[in-house]
Amino acid sequence: MRRLLSFEAVNLLTNKSQLTRSTLAAFCLAALVAGGVAFAQDQASETIFLKRFKTEESQRLIGLYQANFEKYKTSERDFYLAKAQYQQINTLASLESAVVSTRQVMVDRADVLIVYEELLAASLVDSTGAELSMKQDTLAELQSQIGELKAHKEVILAAQDRAAVYRAGIDFSLLVPELSATAYETLSQIVIADVQRVYDKTVTYYADLKKAQAEIEISPLKAEERKRAYGETDALMASIGDNLDLIRGSVTAKNQRVDHSSYTEIARSLSSAHAQLSQAMDFLNELERGGRSEI
Amino acid sequence: MPKIDKYNQTEFSAEEPLYERVTSPQKPVEPVIEVEKEITVPVNNKKKKILIASGVITVSLLVIILILMSGGGGPVSNGESDPTPTPTAADTRTPMQARLEELKTELRDADPNQQPLLFPAMDYDISLGSTDG
């Protein structure tokens, strides 16, 4: 009887350990699946993110920008630590360490901004729908700011003491509003150009579709139906064109510089034009399918 | 009653002759048979569980591989070749349809809310303070 009990106990223990192992395996699998899905989603969003950068140069720059930004984040952490340590213990050694890390984080910040501005310039050059005169002015401004940032970097590298680093920081803070304004101005031009380019292509497509469908003979009833469909599509396309003109006009006529909030406003207005364009494409899809079914 | 009196009541019931009769000399063999049964059952269960676990692992790995393959695990394309339809799809679509699909892809890429180049979020006031402070 006692032996039976002990075997039952052994059996129970074996089952228990198997249960533990199965649970562990299940957890590992769940983690693997979750990790795999997260990785895949990450890869997919990364692909969408990088789709905007079509040329080899802009792809090289976005890679460099991401690497520089990572480097900046690390040196920013080091700077906060060194600064806190200096403020706590207030020794010469901690001051030296704080000055060195301040210099480093300022250099890394300048590197991020230099590549960022280069990337903006490359993206503006790539965007085909931007207005040429505005594009050239903005590109010249970006080039000038890249030069200023490089000069700022040289000043930081040459700064040997705390006072020199402090002065470089003050000079840089005067540069930031200009950098930000140029960046948002460039971005405004890029986003407007992107939607404008698709709109222009859609106008051409619509004209071609009308031309192709005019060559096919259809019943008077169908012709009336199509006329009404064209009327709706014409009105929508005209409305999109007007909206885009208004948005472009608001950017060109602006006396004050574009900042983050005005850029957000431009993007919001463009979103509405973007949605209208999507609706127009649905109409065109319907028209195209209707035309094919009548052949 | 008198029979009961014959028994020593200080003894435990297990030691009574009545119970002794039930456990005949052949009885101890039974646990051995049960033990054999008990030993063989876990082995079968274990095999079964291992088979199920390996099946689940294989299926999960296949699912992960499929997800990774469909999720764009390959090299990042430069975007220009993406709107181009696959040869089989191109066979079934008219040129006008293909053009419209291309336009839709371009429109998706031109979403103003998906602009990745916003001004970098960094600390623009980094300073250790002047020599006074």
Q: Tell me which residue of A147, A121, A140 sits closest to A53, measured CA to CA.
A: A121
Answer whether A166 sits within 8 Å of B127, measured CB to CB.
yes
Phi-psi region for residue A79, left (φ > 0), alpha (ψ -120 to 50) or beta?
alpha
Integer CA distances (angstroms), A31 to A24, A28, A38, A148, B7, in order: 10, 5, 10, 49, 68
What are the chain A neighbours of B47 within 8 Å (beta carbons)?
A: none
Q: Which B residues 42-81 touch A at CB under 8 Å?
A: 42, 45-46, 49, 53, 56-57, 60-61, 63-64, 67-68, 70-73, 76-80
Identity of the residue in A76, A116, A274 whose CB atom sits nearest the CB atom of B112:
A274
Residue of B60, B68, B107, B132 to mutate for A, most A C-beta atoms under 10 A:
B107
Q: What is the pTM of this model?
A: 0.65
Pull the structure tokens for residue B39. 């030993």
The answer, for B112 touching chain A at a CB cutoff of 8 Å, is yes
The answer, for B100 touching chain A at a CB cutoff of 8 Å, is yes
Residue of B46, B108, B123, B124 to mutate for A, most A C-beta atoms under 10 A:
B124
Give residue B67's pLDDT.
67
pLDDT tens sequence for chain A (295 residues):
455 545 555 555 555 556 566 565 555 556 555 555 555 555 554 554 566 677 889 899 999 999 999 999 999 999 999 999 999 999 999 999 999 999 999 999 999 999 999 999 999 998 887 788 889 999 999 999 999 999 999 999 999 889 999 999 999 999 999 999 999 999 999 999 999 999 999 999 999 999 999 888 888 888 899 999 999 999 999 999 999 999 988 877 656 677 888 899 999 999 999 999 999 999 999 999 887 766 5
The answer, for A45 touching chain B at a CB cutoff of 8 Å, is no
The answer, for B2 touching chain A at a CB cutoff of 8 Å, is no
Please give the residue of chain B at the shortest CA–CA distance from A81.
B128
Q: Which B residues 9-48 touch A at CB under 8 Å?
A: 31, 34-35, 38-39, 41-42, 45-46
> What ipTM, to 2 d.p.?
0.73
Domain boundaries, chain A: 53-179, 194-293
Give residue A54's pLDDT.
75
In this predicted model, what pLDDT tens digit does every residue of B30-60 receive, in sequence order? Answer: 544 444 444 444 556 777 878 888 888 888 7
Give residue B74's pLDDT.
36
Residues 6 or more apart in contact with residue B115 via CB below 8 angstroms: A52, A187, A190, A191, A267
